Chains A and B, each alone.
Chain A
Amino acid sequence: EAQVTQNPRYLITVTGKKLTVTCSQNMNHEYMSWYRQDPGLGLRQIYYSMNVEVTDKGDVPEGYKVSRKEKRNFPLILESPSPNQTSLYFCASSDRLAGGAYEQYFGPGTRLTVT
């Protein structure tokens, strides 16, 4: 089954304790992206990757890091989490469709609480 998986699904942590949210896709997609979703603010892109070893900032990259060492994995790293990073996080992947269109597949989400 084609899917994007994220782990953990729920995480409560404390300020400053480094954490990693993993994202994996089994569709051999080139493009992967991380979003955060907050009430009233919709989906905001954090980082994206056009292919292995190619990453770039989205709209809200401050406080986050990513890496793309393999095509299937795109972990999101919070080196020193702060309470304003409490949010619902989604990972997505997409193939390059004919003409250059995106058709993103989203993971189930990771609800992060930083106290």
Chain B
Amino acid sequence: LAKTTQPISMDSYEGQEVNITCSHNNIATNDYITWYQQFPSQGPRFIIQGYKTKVTNEVASLFIPADRKSSTLSLPRVSLSDTAVYYCLVGSYNQGGKLIFGQGTELSVKP
């Protein structure tokens, strides 16, 4: 099972771009990289998912280098409402159903 490592916390200001990097050195060939956002006392919410290179949706971008041993979640022009904990998760059905969340990154956006 791939273990993930993320910074415990990050600070930013409104309007800035935020990049959160996740390290997953033992990622398996079939594994996908998924990022979730969690607000206090709520369930995590899916943000974005990718296998390689770059993925972009309406809320974020995900950059995955060729060796796939890390990934970077990019949040453009953050606002106060982006203050949350962000989790990186690595896994796939082909590797079984056991999934291990990392400690998450607590992002604090200031005015």
Contacts and interface: CB of A to CB of B under 8 A. Distances in A.
A and B physically associate = yes
B98 A48 contact: yes
Interface string B83-102: 00001010111101111111
Summarize A's interface: helix, strand, loop or mixed: strand
A104 interface: yes
- Chain B, interface residues (CB within 8 Å), range: 20 to 34
Interface in B25-39: 30, 32, 34, 36
A109 interface: yes
A20 to B, nearest CB: 19
A58 B44 contact: no
Given A31-B97, A45-B100, A96-B93, A102 B44 contact: no
A42 B36 CA distance: 12
Interface string A59-74: 1000000000000000
B45 interface: yes
Interface of A: 4, 31, 33, 35, 42-45, 48-50, 56, 58-59, 88, 90, 92, 96, 99-109, 111
Interface of B: 30, 32, 34, 36, 41-46, 49, 51, 87, 89, 91-94, 96-104
